[in-house]
Structure 1
Amino acid sequence: MNKPRWTRRPERSNWGDFGADDELGRLNLIDHNAVLRGVREVKEGRSFCLSLPLDYPGGNVLSPRRHPPKLCPTFRDDKPVYNLPLDESGLTHTDVLSDDAVLLHTQYSTQWDSFAHVGKLYDATGTGAPKPIYYNGYRGGDDIVGPSESNGRPIGAQRLGIETMAVKAIQTRGVLVNLFSRFGRDRKLVNYDDLMRIIDEDQISIESGDILCLYTGFADMVMQMKGKPDPQLLASSHSVLDGRCTSLQNWIVDSNIAAIAADNYAVEALPPAPAVAAPCARLPLHELCLFGYGIPLGELWLLGELASALEKSKRHGFLLTAPPLRLTGAVGSPVTPVATL
């Protein structure tokens, strides 16, 4: 019998609640009732693309290690397959082919984080030696394998890879909270009281298995910059969750939302509000959601057009379809979410 991956469950976690080997976390709450609740939101038959162009924001000034996609042709008989006649004589076949490949940074643009994206140095077995650990006790080096640990094994997430979210075929009720309508382009760290005030004033109902979508206007500004983002302006603009707000963290846990998606980087403020004490997470909401409770985070979603349509119809809910790529072993993925009203 294999030893358990963990004997010390983090104080703020749901490890084991969905099974010892669970890799879906709170996505388990997207059951048939959640899907049907989302379907019932479809009244008009209108669909909205919630993805940026995947070559946006543009360049790499916002994230130096991430770059836009690079397209290149595939080759046939040492010839690039772009406008390539299948039969150059044209006597037998008239087909002309184009075929390409892409080098893609999975978290450059509109994306999902998998649970293998952010873990924690944590002593899961009581040895006194904290090690890299991820949701439900999956281990760095054993389950999430880097180049120095591969020893001939494939590099990547052997467990908690993004493909588990793809197989789940994420479709449920989305609920949009319009932060931009309250705070505009001003930089604002949104705490629990701020969020609850909007939810109460707008009479927004959030149920188990829903995906919370936060519209701040950030991605709209990215689009307006046309591939040449201004990092200083973006960093000083728009509202963002205060990841260090304990009451906000508690609400995320108690709400039973399946995931959070926002139109900005990271969902939470970067840099965060100052910590009370060290050591601590630089990304406290990522630690709470990805490491502790298995709540996926979506970033850089394009929500402006949807927000306007919902405001005009005095609605907040919609059918959200947002599976990532079924890319085995990846720790994140581009996504083209679709909202249907």
Structure 2
Amino acid sequence: MRWKHRPPGSNWGDFGADDEVGRLNMLTPEKVLQGVAEVHEGRSFCLSLPLDYPGGNALNKLRHPPRRFTSGRAATPNCNFPLQRLNPQFTDVVSDDAVLLFTQYSTQWDALAHVGGLFDADGDGVAEPLYYNGWRAGEDILGPRGSEDALEGVEAKRLGIDKMAETAVSGRAVMIDLEKHCGHARELIDHARLQSIMQADGIEVESGDMVCLYTGFADVVLGMQREPDAHTLENSCAVLDGRDAALLQWITDSGLSVLIADNYAVEAYPARPGTADHCCAALPLHEHCLFKLGIHLGELWYLTDLAHYLRANNRSRFMLTAPPLRLPGAVGSPVSPVALV
């Protein structure tokens, strides 16, 4: 056993000692069928931003836009290349390309290997860096050994995004329309405010549902035409208050399988200050979801068209299919989700 004690409020071990997908275990065949039952018109919605948005790196200084390039045939780029140059009988013209992509730059999934925590799981009095279900930093999630191999990046031998991809991430989803009630004003959403919005719109979240939060943030991002202004983004749209203990408890009790938003981090970042006498996570909702409960987080999704459709039709539920790239060892992934109604 990798741990003797699990963090308070966590579900470590509930899905098995070696589990790597957390609450995705709750996306059962029954949840898929419930999702299929929400398809009435056969309409589909793309829930991804163009992957070169937001543009620049105002949201996160460590993440940069995709860089596209092509390979070459000797000194000739492999773009609009007539194969007749290789054989006079060929009539084909071909183009190939490649991309250098930061996996969490735009519409994305966070893997469970993305955020861990310091916790004394073996009871020796010393907190060690761990990830969901007790998988260990330095053993199960590896990084570069030194500056000379920094380009090798992270290798999640456990909890990688490929584990999420293997589940296919399909089932019933529920939209909570915060923008309808808050507009584009910056507002910290605590448990009481969230419940009042859900009650006003008749929204119920059941065990295994995938929950989406429409805030309008992606609309603001798109309006900036790849030239984002950090101050504007920091002061736009509703966002969950990750410091609110009642909100975190609702996430636990609701049984939701994944949590998705159209904003940068799902929760407010930076978070409200913690208490002066208590060490706390900089990203409390990330800690609660990724580290304690095994709930994958989706960020910077494009939910506008779907949210407006659901609003106009007095609906909140839909079918969602959203597998990440099956990229072994990655701690995040771009995603092109599809909603069906």
TM-score, normalization by structure 2: 0.96
Structure 2 counterparts to residues 256-267 of structure 1, below 5 A: 256-267=255-266
- In the other structure, the counterpart of 1:135 is 132
Aligned residues: 338
Decide which moves more: 319-328 or 82-91.
82-91
Residue type at the aligned position of 2:63: R
- Note if contact 2:177-2:214 (Cα within 8 Å) is conserved in structure 1: yes
- Note if contact 2:154-2:331 (Cα within 8 Å) is conserved in structure 1: no
Structure 2 counterparts to residues 1-341 of structure 1, below 5 A: 4-88=1-85, 91-148=88-145, 155-276=154-275, 277-341=277-341
- Note if contact 2:177-2:307 (Cα within 8 Å) is conserved in structure 1: yes
For residues 273 and 155 of structure 1, do their structure 2 counterparts lie closer, same or farther at Cα, with a shift above 3 Å needed? closer
Quick one: distance in 1 between partners of 2:153 and 2:101? 18
Q: 1:85 Cα deviation (Å)?
A: 1.1
Residue type at the aligned position of 1:157: A
Decide which moves more: 185-194 or 73-82.
73-82
1:87 counterpart SS class: helix
Quick one: distance in 2 between partners of 1:77 and 1:226? 37
For residues 82 and 133 of structure 1, do their structure 2 counterparts lie closer, same or farther at Cα, with a shift above 3 Å needed? same
Q: 1:77 Cα deviation (Å)?
A: 3.3
For residues 133 and 97 of structure 1, do their structure 2 counterparts lie closer, same or farther at Cα, with a shift above 3 Å needed? same
Quick one: distance in 2 between partners of 1:105 and 1:283? 21
Quick one: distance in 2 between partners of 1:145 and 1:87? 47
Unaligned segments of structure 2, at least 5 residues:
none
- Note if contact 2:214-2:303 (Cα within 8 Å) is conserved in structure 1: yes
Residue type at the aligned position of 1:284: P
TM-score, normalization by structure 1: 0.96
For residues 7 and 149 of structure 1, do their structure 2 counterparts lie closer, same or farther at Cα, with a shift above 3 Å needed? farther
Q: 1:91 Cα deviation (Å)?
A: 2.5
Quick one: distance in 2 between partners of 1:255 and 1:89? 62
| Displaced runs of 4 or more, over 4 A | 152-155
Q: CA RMSD in A?
A: 1.7
1:214 counterpart SS class: strand
For residues 328 and 195 of structure 1, do their structure 2 counterparts lie closer, same or farther at Cα, with a shift above 3 Å needed? same
Unaligned segments of structure 1, at least 5 residues:
none
Q: 1:11 Cα deviation (Å)?
A: 1.1
Residue type at the aligned position of 2:306: L
Q: What percentage of residue pairs aligned between the two structures are identical?
A: 56
